[in-house]
């Protein structure tokens, strides 16, 4: 009996808060079980209900981080955050769904990649969905995309860079855009011109200028601008929707707007790091913390990017989170040395392979040997409240739109996710906007051991997180359990 | 007893429909009194409730037409639709709120203009809000704008054209943008370069080419593009939000997007006529039906405008409705003749005054003597469903955003209007998307006696309209009563 | 006899130099009388010829400064450089033609303005042409433009600012663009939005922030950008050519390029001060030296403007020279006070009139009371050689195109001026590019007593200047004579 | 004696014409030997001179066609115009220099390619210069570019399309742009996105829609726009000048302008066919005549392209002439069949190879099997006079700039070519602008047997052509001799 009551989701009434949807902010109560049951004013609590007092708080549909890299294995490096750790940090940050990646390794069927990733994700404490990173789908195998639809993975990811493992040339991108579009699969693309990045990197290597502060010079803004332009034109030719991940340059977003004005269906994503950090970080004393692709940009770009966010031109803010530890960020050279044989699948410095012989002589940190990526899932919501809503760059509905409803809608999770409407999954985040504190790695739950936002003041805090009606975070402590998280089927995108 | 029951709002449960908000579409039930009471699944009807079966139907927050000209008196002409007639047509079209204009006549205080318009609007059958058309507020009288805030009118309207009565020069526009912005009042502007329009019109008069098909030549697209650019820069200099009414040219919207990318708060409105009709109408046999300002544009502009709508760059679709009758549209010359003495307040052909002596010789329809404006409130929703949602240019939430939530939010009516959230006014429109029919003036309720969309096929129909819980339209018949409509206080806009 | 020999132009052979035209740079000799007689290799000197050794030097068609304000009388101020002094400085700088302005004072016929200016220009030592500054040409008087053609003045100047004397509203600009265009007269326009400038200035006055460093804030870049956009659209509507004077903002030139891409005939002029100086000058200790309209702009604008010059988008570089003395630049307040009664014709601070009562209290320099304008004719060529040609932003033919051939062609002086072709007037400037020196006011010949380029290093120097075959500058000394200069008839512009 | 006088160039005096340079138009006489000797007024003829009466005529520097494909051997096809025939047609059209291509075949050193082409060009009747088509220069061999400089070939040509023989990927283009730029070699690029063209072509093949009218669908405008954008960004990254050949889309030129505004050195070339013909030709009864790459574009593009020409944004108009015969244009299928073994070097339909097995079944003309290219050298000047100068889109100096001086300057032939200045080669074209006629293939001198401009009215005609002082065309007849033409050394480009 007690067992069964444990199995049954408790019903909870969240009273007195301000409910936020992508459209509305209104005072109201919420009754939830595993699903949202009712939204209303002065709803009555019954004895079986847990009562949560949300007065003074914002009650949001659970945050969806549409771009994460949990437990990323690139061959050379593996982020040490398994799915339990990674999703625990998410839950503590008010995130109730992550959309991560299933990487197709060479030779795999796409469905194998999905199944393999499902295995890894078993310990997840919150729900997740997947994009499929397509790396090896030659002509004739496009029908495998049908399996993605059947498996509930309606989006693929392509790269214009990272030879040889991830790189897709124009013909491949065009072919897959078209094949995906015909199946209502959304193609997402990492846009940096490979030739420009490779040549700039090679020039720095030849000049012996690979110390960390030069990271940004290896990946100039124009490499991104060029690739975004090209991918948008390929999508236009393919008559297919396209989603540009992690736009780091304001002009990338502008080009997405221009594509829409030509009648295209095109989405723009940006990340907190491009809105809040800039290239001056490379001149600081912790440059390794900021090695990522694309790199941080010139300072004036930040506000220009915010202007596009404010203009409604950005569809999604997601993290591109990647929890390398400080040890990994600083000790890459040694690791590389010891694993030179395994470099084939490396993305940690696409040039690692060719310089393997020289690694022994490496005497100081080198951006080509430093794994790229920043942790960020847990800080996503507090940062966007503090630097988006608090200074009135965003309204609360804007925030919910960018961090929950749009990702859900674009990736076919909606209205199960991204919504407070009756019938939706009871993924709910309660944010208390009162008070302020300072971000510091020691209070975060990820494994990276640092945060690029160390010392950033934030407004308010996550008070509670519900995942399908279960309390997974409360009172500053994680309350969930491994394995609670389920894979969520995405439905095919329709233009 | 029966009286009191009449006075008390019935409670109604709307069951089995698909509820639509600006963010969501979900199956659900709605319990309403004068306010929205509850939103949920499988809500129980109690005996006191009217039960409405909405299965198969879309349940929308009541439509808000943010730009109407009911009972417009320009001195020379008066549209014969008093507020009862005008709002009856609105209710029959699923519109539950109109935002109309209080015109400040020369010498009036702004508050007088509001009070006078309140008098006229007494017979309204649905709720309404007001913009204040500011025509005479010289330096030193800006404080009168404070009265607007007190009266619940948080938006003003300015014109860059229509000398001498409405025209505001750059200095006036800049001054009022600034004065309004400081008070969180939103400035809306009709943008056509006056010199360009006047000169083009004068040239046509001199060439004897004022027959109706030449109407568009008198108001070239570049006159709008220029004025939109200028007004956006004036707003930038004033650091004030601005709202461009009836963008008829795709490039106007583009310029609004560019302004947002510079960090401005700028809104773009367009109208069904610019999305669905084009200048070829002037070559048809009913050109008088299509005389309006700005005029219909080249055919290729329509799809370009839709592209901007689809891109999310347009904030509001409203009608600019103006119910001149066919008699007025065709007999303007004679009317003008008989009222030459009163021309000072005329907007029907800003040149009427100067050509008054020649009117007697007018032997055929002349666009300078034809009152400009099209009827459209009642057809707004069916057209946008049929040509927006049906062909997938818009989703249902897009439609609600453009036709209800955005107008409510921008003009400070939200969340009382524009929302299905508990606590909002129970303005609800039930649209049955099944079946199709053909628009024809004979089934419409306005006074114009024609519709510019005669013969347009439409998908579905308005099934019921509720205004604050009262059924005002059902079963193809108007069920409301004069005087039910109330003025709704708009709260000041905050950037 | 000696008299007649004085009257006869000597023939001169200029040997061994590098001849430069807008198309070519080639070694060659030049034989000149009053006209260019021959261009060739190894031409033989005859005994009657003066022989000039130009080896190592560049032989240019005489420089034409297309935008000067010699002996400018604005009612409040008069620049103290009469035509003799002004054109002497020009000749010493290698300038052989100035295109100055004949201002139409209120009530004058245009032809009266021309005749009056001819009187003043009698002492000119080099040739000159005129633009007509049209300030009072109401509808019905457009035919006076025909007189301009007859008089050889094929260009007019309009202002979008400087109320009440110079300001032309949109209707006037449109009307005059059209009237001028129909007569092949080129309309030149000073573009700054009057409302924006007036309001910004007024706000600074009210804030008590009229000290000189605030000058730029009174005339923001967006005021220029807006006005250029508007004027280009008015010209498009008028189907008339247009010439934008002193583009100070890179985006102004961009808009001219966009207009050309729409099929318009549009010209862009910029000035050395916008290419070489920037707003940081206002923070220096001589801000009065840099008060001009439009003001100096942000530093990054300079290189952007150069990029447009290098791209071939700028047609003319001219000076807008205006020789107020340092006394006038610093003592404006006192002058203003004493002449309050005459302010109607003032352009020195268009707000002077309204603040006249407060002048007595003025205790420090005030930009609203400081006459705007910089000296520059004499330094035009050395600066453009040194900062254009020397650092390879311009080729020598580019320089000739921008400083001589284009002005000649655009203003109908070509091929009499702006050319080294046989038959052209023998206006020749020999520039020795060897050596370097530092610009300093003490060696200049103007009356201003200062140069805004004090201390600028320059490459080479003007070696000789010929005006219609007469040596007017040689060996560092002026050799011409008052009255030598003639008015040059401009032929009407053809599109 | 008579022999020696034959060997000695006669001196010629061209009297009474209007001389045209890129800067000037002026009446004058010209004395020429092998070089231009003198330019002047009323020059005296001496007894040894041939006297040419040019009264009423325009005397131009000889026309330079900067983009020709004489005797083009693509492996599959060879244009049957050997250098004698090809340059004879040129001379008859007033062209005195062609800049053709030396193709590097796989395995060749660049210098071998140049030497081989010199051999072929021996019979040329006018002078020529060369671009080097670099097809196989892997990393490490960049130093071969130094040989180009030594040999007088300061420009290379790359293709973004035509796999496998000509195609260069981004990395190659970037590397060669950089290597070329460092040596002051100008990189010219054919810009069409290979993936887009290949996929569109393949789709048409699969759909069985390869009949000639579909040619344009295989190479959409967006493929060019994308590639131009990309190449400009690669050039920006390489800090190298770049020249975009045969811009067929107005937006391509716009992008070149935008690149210049970013500070780049970028050139735009267009061709008569894109200014005068459009895609409607494919619907006519001679579609094979118009198969070329890039294809003819939509009609409205023509005027937009002219607008950019008029705006000064286009640097060069050249022909991309390629003299396939009508037999070759129509009989490609059969030829292809018989030569299937040799397809490796084919550019006639880059897909020819893959469809070789199916050729036998080909029953009608197929654009994939039709060699691309139009004849045009001989008609270049008459067309540009008739459709550029006559309708005032161009002035005579504009024409000389675009067709002679700019090509000479850009490709380092200046001032030996492209100039009427003393010392320049006496390449002179006399054009008589009087009278009109109709273009027809039967009066042309090329081998193609047709002209795409059949029936086009033209204004005036070429009266005489001089090549280094020798009359090569006069009185409607060719007067030159094989072998007169020499290779002209181009000097390295300097930015």
A186-232 residue pLDDT tens: 999 999 999 999 999 999 999 999 999 999 999 999 999 999 999 99
Structure confidence by residue, pLDDT tens digits, D369-421: 889 999 999 999 999 999 999 999 999 999 999 999 999 999 999 889 999 98
- pTM assigned to the model: 0.83
pLDDT of the residue at C494: 61
- Chain A residues inside the 8 Å CB shell of D225: 233
Exposed, middle or buried, A259 (CB in 10 Å: 0-12/13-18/19+)? buried
Provide mean pLDDT across the span B285-299. 94
Quick check: A313 and B260 CB within 8 A? yes
pLDDT band at C369 (very low <50, low <70, confident <90, very high): confident
Structure confidence by residue, pLDDT tens digits, B332-352: 544 444 443 333 333 434 434
Provide mean pLDDT across the span C387-392. 96
pLDDT of the residue at D186: 97
Q: How do C49-53 and C11-20 pair as beta strands?
A: parallel
Q: Read out DSSP for A126-154?
A: SEEEEEEE-----TT-TTHHHHHHHHT--
The dihedral through the CA atoms of C107, C110, C115, C119 has a sign that is positive
Quick check: D303 and C263 CB within 8 A? yes
- The overall average pLDDT reported for chain B is 90
- Chain A residues inside the 8 Å CB shell of B261: 250, 254, 257, 304, 307-308, 311, 313
Structure confidence by residue, pLDDT tens digits, C51-101: 999 999 999 999 999 999 999 987 777 888 899 999 999 999 999 999 999
Structure confidence by residue, pLDDT tens digits, D187-200: 999 999 999 999 99
CA dist B397 and C479 (Å) reads 81
CA dist B195 and A30 (Å) reads 57
Distance from CA of A409 to the nearest CA of D (A): 30
| Out of B171, B194, B237, closest to residue C170 by CB | B194
Instruction: Count residue pairs from A and B with Cβ separation < 8 A.
Output: 136
Provide mean pLDDT across the span A345-366. 46
**How is chain C split among helix, strand and coil, in percent rounded to 5?**
40, 20, 40
CA dist D317 and D339 (Å) reads 35
Q: Single out the residue of C8, C11, C19, C2 nearest to residue C46, CA to CA.
A: C11
Provide mean pLDDT across the span C244-260. 96
Is the pLDDT confidence value at C410 over 80? yes
pLDDT of the residue at D10: 78
- Chain C residues inside the 8 Å CB shell of B221: none
Do residues D62 and D95 make contact, with C-beta atoms less than 8 angstroms apart? yes
Instruction: Count residue pairs from C and D with Cβ separation < 8 A.
Output: 136
Of A349-353, B256-260, D41-45, the poorest mean pLDDT is in A349-353
Do residues B402 and B271 make contact, with C-beta atoms less than 8 angstroms apart? no
Of A175-179, C419-423, D483-487, the poorest mean pLDDT is in C419-423
Output the six-digit token pair for D84.
Answer: 């004698």
Is the pLDDT confidence value at C363 over 80? no
Task: Kindly list the partner chains of chain A, i.e. chains with 3 or more CB atom pairs below 8 Å.
Answer: B, D
User: Helix, strand or coil for residue B402?
Assistant: helix
Distance from CA of B305 to the nearest CA of A (A): 8
Is the pLDDT confidence value at D309 over 80? yes
CA B467 to the chain's CA centroid: 18
pLDDT band at A74 (very low <50, low <70, confident <90, very high): confident
Output the six-digit token pair for B435.
Answer: 């079946």
Exposed, middle or buried, A341 (CB in 10 Å: 0-12/13-18/19+)? exposed
Token pair 């502060």 in the structure block, residue: A213
CA dist C369 and C372 (Å) reads 9
- The overall average pLDDT reported for chain D is 90
Structure confidence by residue, pLDDT tens digits, D257-280: 999 988 899 999 999 999 999 999
Q: What's the ipTM?
A: 0.86
Nearest chain D residue to C36, by CA: D40
Distance from CA of B253 to the nearest CA of A (A): 10
Element (H, E) at D173: helix D170-182
pLDDT of the residue at B5: 40
Quick check: C26 and D421 CB within 8 A? yes
Do residues D460 and D432 make contact, with C-beta atoms less than 8 angstroms apart? yes
Quick check: C237 and B223 CB within 8 A? yes
Length of chain D: 495
pLDDT band at B305 (very low <50, low <70, confident <90, very high): very high
What is the number of other CB atoms lying within 10 angstroms of the CB of residue C4?
7
Quick check: D195 and A174 CB within 8 A? yes
User: Could you tell me which residues come within 8 angstroms of residue C493 by beta carbon, excluding any fewer than 6 positions away?
Assistant: C154, C155, C184, C185, C186, C241, C410, C411, C412
CA A373 to the chain's CA centroid: 11
CA dist D478 and D298 (Å) reads 37
Q: Which residues of D touch C (CB under 8 A)?
A: 19, 21-28, 37-41, 43, 250, 254, 257, 260-263, 265, 303-304, 307-308, 310-313, 392, 397, 400-401, 405, 414-415, 419, 421-424, 494-495
Do residues C295 and C286 make contact, with C-beta atoms less than 8 angstroms apart? no
Is the pLDDT confidence value at C42 over 50? yes
pLDDT band at D25 (very low <50, low <70, confident <90, very high): confident
Q: Single out the residue of B359, B307, B309, B304 nearest to residue B334, CA to CA.
A: B359
| Out of C40, C250, C400, closest to residue D40 by CB | C40
Is the pLDDT confidence value at C361 over 70? no
Provide mean pLDDT across the span B358-364. 48
pLDDT of the residue at A284: 93
Is the pLDDT confidence value at B2 over 80? no
Quick check: D196 and A170 CB within 8 A? yes
- Chain D residues inside the 8 Å CB shell of C304: 261
* B416-444 b/e (C-beta count within 10 Å ≥ 16 → b): bbbbbbbbbbbbbbbbbbeeeeebebeeb
Considering only residues A87 and B48, tell me which one the structure prediction assigns the higher pLDDT.
Answer: A87
Q: Read out DSSP for A150-183?
A: HHT--EEEEESSSTTTTB--HHHHHHHHHHHHHT
Listed in sequence order, the DSSP H helices in B445-493 are none
Is the pLDDT confidence value at D333 over 50? no
pLDDT of the residue at C195: 95
Q: Read out DSSP for A241-295?
A: -EEE----SHHHHHHHHHHHHTT--EEEEE-HHHHH--GGGGGSS-GGGG--SSP
Do residues D43 and D81 make contact, with C-beta atoms less than 8 angstroms apart? no
Is the pLDDT confidence value at A174 over 80? yes
What is the number of other CB atoms lying within 10 angstroms of the CB of residue B274?
25
Cis peptide before D201 (omega within 30 of 0): no
Structure confidence by residue, pLDDT tens digits, C318-358: 999 999 988 888 865 444 444 433 333 334 444 343 344 44
pLDDT of the residue at B399: 97
Is the pLDDT confidence value at C248 over 50? yes
Q: How do C428-438 and C58-61 pair as beta strands?
A: antiparallel
Quick check: A226 and D220 CB within 8 A? no
pLDDT of the residue at A81: 84
pLDDT of the residue at D482: 97
Considering only residues D39 and D64, tell me which one the structure prediction assigns the higher pLDDT.
Answer: D64
Do residues B394 and B402 make contact, with C-beta atoms less than 8 angstroms apart? yes
Q: Which of A41, A236, A311 would you mutate first to test chain B, the one with the most B CBs within 10 A?
A: A311
pLDDT band at D494 (very low <50, low <70, confident <90, very high): low
pLDDT of the residue at C10: 77
CB half-sphere exposure, C5, CA atoms < 13 A: 4
Output the six-digit token pair for C75.
Answer: 């009612």
Element (H, E) at D98: strand D95-103
Angle (deg, nearest 10), helices A250-261 and B299-310: 140
pLDDT of the residue at D369: 87
Do residues C444 and C219 make contact, with C-beta atoms less than 8 angstroms apart? no
Structure confidence by residue, pLDDT tens digits, C164-186: 889 999 999 999 999 999 999 99
Structure confidence by residue, pLDDT tens digits, B91-145: 999 999 999 999 999 999 999 999 999 999 999 999 999 999 999 999 999 999 9
User: Could you tell me which residues come within 8 angstroms of residue D475 by beta carbon, excluding any fewer than 6 positions away?
Assistant: none
């Amino acid at each position: 009996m007690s067992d069964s009551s444990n199995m049954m989701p408790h019903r909870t009434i969240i009273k007195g808060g301000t409910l936020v949807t992508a459209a509305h902010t209104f005072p109201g109560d919420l009754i939830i079980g595993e699903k949202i049951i009712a939204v209303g004013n002065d709803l009555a609590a019954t004895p079986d209900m847990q009562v949560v007092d949300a007065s003074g708080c914002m009650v949001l549909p659970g945050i969806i981080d549409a771009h994460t890299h949990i437990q990323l294995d690139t061959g050379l490096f593996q982020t040490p955050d398994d799915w339990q750790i990674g999703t625990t940090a998410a839950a503590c940050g008010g995130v109730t769904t992550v959309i991560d990646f299933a990487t197709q390794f060479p030779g795999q069927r796409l469905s194998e990649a999905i199944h393999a990733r499902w295995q890894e994700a078993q310990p997840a404490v919150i729900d997740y969905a997947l994009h499929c990173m397509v790396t090896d789908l030659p002509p004739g195998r496009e029908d495998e995309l049908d399996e993605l639809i059947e498996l509930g993975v309606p989006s693929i990811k392509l790269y214009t860079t990272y030879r040889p493992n991830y790189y897709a040339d124009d013909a491949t991108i065009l072919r897959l855009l078209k094949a995906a579009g015909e199946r209502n699969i959304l193609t997402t693309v990492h846009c940096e011109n490979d030739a420009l990045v490779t040549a700039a990197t090679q020039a720095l290597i030849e000049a012996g200028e690979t110390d960390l502060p030069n990271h940004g010079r290896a990946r100039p803004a124009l490499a991104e601008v060029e690739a975004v332009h090209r991918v948008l034109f390929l999508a236009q030719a393919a008559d297919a929707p396209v989603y540009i991940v992690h736009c780091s340059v304001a002009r990338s977003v502008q080009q997405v707007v221009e594509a829409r004005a030509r009648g295209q269906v095109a989405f723009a994503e940006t990340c907190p790091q491009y809105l809040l950090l800039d290239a001056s970080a490379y001149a600081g004393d912790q440059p390794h913390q900021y090695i990522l692709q694309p790199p941080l940009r010139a300072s004036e770009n930040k506000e220009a990017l915010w202007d596009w966010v404010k203009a409604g031109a950005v569809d999604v803010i997601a993290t591109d989170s990647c929890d390398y530890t400080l040890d990994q960020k600083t000790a890459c050279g040694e690791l590389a040395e010891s694993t030179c044989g395994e470099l084939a699948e490396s993305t940690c410095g696409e040039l690692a392979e060719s310089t393997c012989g020289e690694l022994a002589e490496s005497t100081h940190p080198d951006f080509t040997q430093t794994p790229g990526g920043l942790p960020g899932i847990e800080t996503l919501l507090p940062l966007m409240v503090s630097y988006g809503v608090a200074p009135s760059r965003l309204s609360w509905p804007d925030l919910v739109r960018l961090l929950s409803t749009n990702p859900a809608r674009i990736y076919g999770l909606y209205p199960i996710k991204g919504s407070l409407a009756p019938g939706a999954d009871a993924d709910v985040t309660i944010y208390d906007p009162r008070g302020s504190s300072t971000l510091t790695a020691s209070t975060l739950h990820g494994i990276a051991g640092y945060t690029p936002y160390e010392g950033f003041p934030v407004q308010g805090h996550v008070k509670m997180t519900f995942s399908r009606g279960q309390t997974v975070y409360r009172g500053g402590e994680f309350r969930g359990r491994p394995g609670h998280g389920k894979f969520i089927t995405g439905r095919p995108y329709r233009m």
